[in-house]
Amino acid sequence: MADAHPPNEQLLHLVFGGELKHGSTTEFADPSKLHVVGLYPSYGEALKAWQSVARATIDDASVRYFIVHLHRLLHPE
């Protein structure tokens, strides 16, 4: 399902990550140590930030980063 948003609409995204308990889950080993990379006004900017931190931690299989579409949580319709 495609988002029906105007092209210049601000769509907030959160990039964060940390060490997972198991590589096949999304449960963090210690949520108090999550690395919040930042909030971004577009998916494109969030993707660039995610790629940067994901590449920097590529040798550590227990560390994973995620992009959360905050605009979908704020306006679920």
Beta sheet of 35-40, edge-to-edge order: 35-40, 13-19, 63-69
Contact call for residues 34 and 68 (beta carbons, < 8 A): no
Query: pTM for this one?
Result: 0.84
Q: pLDDT (tens digit, 9 = 90+) per residue, 9-53? A: 789 999 999 999 987 889 999 999 999 999 999 999 999 999 999
Q: Beta partners for 36?
A: 16
Does 4 map to a domain? Answer: no
| pLDDT (average), residues 57-77 | 91
Is 62 inside any structural domain?
Answer: yes
Q: Which residues contact 48 (CB under 8 A, 6 or more apart)?
A: none
**For residue 21, what are the domain limits?**
13-36+43-74
What's the number of domains the chain is made of?
A: 1
The yes-or-no verdict on residue 69 having pLDDT over 50 is: yes
Task: Indicate whether 63 belongs to any domain.
Answer: yes
Q: pLDDT at position 1, please?
A: 43
